[in-house]
Structure 1
Amino acid sequence: MQLPRVTSASVWPPVLVTAGPGARSEAHAHHAMHLVLARGGTLAITVGDTTVRAAGIVTAPDHEHALDARGVDIVLVFFDPESDAGERLRAGLDAPVRTLDAGERDGLLADLPGDADPEPLHAWGHAAAERLSRETATPRALHPRVRKLLRALRSAAPEADTSLPALAALAGLSESRLVHAFRDSVGIPLRPYLLWQKLQRAVVAMACGEPLARAAHSAGFADAAHMSRTFRRMFGMTASELQRSLPRPA
């Protein structure tokens, strides 16, 4: 199973499904939510001082965790928390991590498409989010100007002006109002979110086969060293370790 067809300037799609051998990560936190399913057996997730084993897990955005899926084939789904699917999945969480038992895992995998075509994988990811949501949960309300800004940032070029005055003008808010509205809506400040978006571009560039230095440049990082430090903090592994595990687009 592979990444959707992308260009090296892309950010991740709202739902990104990959599959392959599992690995071990150090403690890290990233803004994406993810669903991780062990195709057989279990994987281990550590939050703070607590480690549990489960057939699958769902993590909330921006919560530190470490994952050990060595020796296990996994299906890994990243969800943009501000997308429709991400909001539904997030509304079904009442803790930083939700564990799934073997029955829940098997039910989800039973409908997983067997090929790498993006459209059925995208549909399966949305269906998985719907299945794991809770009917009584209420999704967060995004400030409409923040939602407008998020859409613009997803389509912006890496070299676009992301200074606070420029983004405030784009959102139609004062600078101080944008700072507060963005954090209230998204859950993290604006600057860390922009760094996360750079990292998404770097991962996609790497998946397209670009070497690390070129991926760093095309994503807007000052240099490969800055990108590598950010990778370790947000993914719990180095950029080169992640690159080796990435499927290549068709």
Structure 2
Amino acid sequence: MQLPLVTSAGLWPPVLVTAGPGARSESHAHHAMHLVLARAGTLAVTAGGVTVRAAGIVTAPDREHALDARGVDIVLVFFDPESDAGERLRAGLDAPVRAVEPPERDALLADLPADAGPEALHAWGHAAAERLSLKTAVPRVIHPRVRKLLRALRGAEPAADTSLPALAALAGLSEGRLVHAFRDSVGIPLRPYLLWLKLQRAVVAMATGEPLARAAHAAGFADAAHMSRTFRRMFGMTASELQRSLPRPP
């Protein structure tokens, strides 16, 4: 797959696009929304005990699903639900998992060359979010102090103090108010969100060629085993399985 663009803090950008051979994942859930398109043919998605085949899917954040895209070239887009693009897409999603039919898939991919590089993929991902969003949908309201905290967390170093007292002081809220406001605004509790950011840092470290143990340490995991368990829960595969699908650094 194409090496993704990343932020200076080692996190994914609000819209992250990769392209390459598809794979199979076990049932999992992650905080990102994602769009998966088969360049040709179909892929299978299982959610709520029901399996369907489609030309592509869009999933809501934190929704359990499994994907089988073996033997299919795919374009995969992760959207940060709290970003502008993610909020627009999320507001227009009327089901936990939405199937993309072949005509819609073909229209989305019409201006994406097969050999598109990271910059072209990135620009295409933003355009795809715009095309898939409903202009009349009303985005989720995020508490302004929570939004401030989200910006700070995405720019923080892995070793930064993320204790509840420290984060409450950073947000300018009481600890109890922060816990409730964060869940109401983001949709998941604060601790699982912090784990999601940690996982992003691990993927970025792995993509730059770090071995699993060093990637786990750099991201703040206790060890590679803890990181791999988290990978399986959030991506439906182990860290080593994902690492094998990443490009080799130059």
- Common topology (TM > 0.5): yes
Percent of matched pairs sharing the same residue:
86
User: What are the residue-to-residue correspondences of 1:229-248 with 2, within 5 Å?
Assistant: 229-248=229-248
**Cα shift readout 1:125-147 (whole Å, capped 9, x = no counterpart):** 11101100112211111111111
**Superposed counterparts of 1:185-204, under 5 Å:** 185-204=185-204
Q: Secondary structure at the match of 1:26?
A: strand
Matched residues, number: 249
Q: Cα 1:248–1:133, aligned 2, differ >3 Å: closer, same or farther? A: farther
- Could you tell me how far apart the structure 2 residues matched to 1:59 and 1:132 are? 12
Secondary structure in 2 matching 1:198: helix
Q: Deviations over 1:119-168 (max 9, x none)?
A: x3322111101100112211111111111100100110000000000000
Aligned runs of 1:108-119 on 2, under 5 Å?
108-113=108-113, 114-118=115-119
Secondary structure (helix, strand or coil) at the match of 2:26 reads: coil
- Conserved 8 A contact 2:7-2:13: no
Is the contact made by 1:31 and 1:193 (CA closer than 8 Å) also made in structure 2?
yes
Matched, 1:67 2:67: yes
> Counterparts in 2 of 1:85-164, with a 5 A limit?
85-113=85-113, 114-118=115-119, 120-164=120-164
TM-score (norm 2): 0.96
SS at match of 1:27: strand
Distance verdict in 2 for CA 1:117–1:232, change over 3 Å: closer
Residue 148 of structure 2 aligns to which amino acid in structure 1? K
Whole-angstrom distance in 2 between the partners of 1:5 and 1:140: 26
Does residue 3 of structure 2 align to residue 3 of structure 1? yes
* Residue 26 of structure 2: aligned partner: 26
How many angstroms does 1:248 deviate by? 4.5
After TM superposition, the score normalised by the length of structure 1 is 0.96
Letter in 1 for 2:226: H
Give the partner amino acid of 2:89.
L
Which 10-residue stretch deviates more, 239-248 or 217-226?
A: 239-248
Greater alpha carbon shift after TM alignment, 4-13 vs 171-180: 4-13
Q: Which residue of 2 aligns with 1:213?
A: 213
Post-superposition CA distance 1:161-200 (Å, at most 9, x none): 0000000010011100000000000000000000011000
- Give the SS at the match of 2:57: strand
Q: Once superposed, which parts of structure 1, at least 4 consecutive aligned residues long, lie more than 2 Å away? A: 3-9, 120-123, 247-250
Partner SS for 2:37: strand
Deviations 1:71-94 (A, max 9, x none): 100000000000011011111111
RMSD: 1.5
Matched residue type, 2:158: P
Change in 2 beyond 3 A, CA 1:211/1:5: same
Three-state SS of the structure 2 residue aligned to 1:148 is helix
Alignment match, 1:57 = 57
Residue 2 of structure 1 and its aligned partner are, at CA, apart by 1.8
In the alignment, the residues of structure 2 paired with residue 56 and residue 230 of structure 1 have an alpha-carbon distance, to the nearest angstrom, of 26
For the residues of structure 2 that align with 1:90 and 1:236, how far apart are their CA atoms? 22
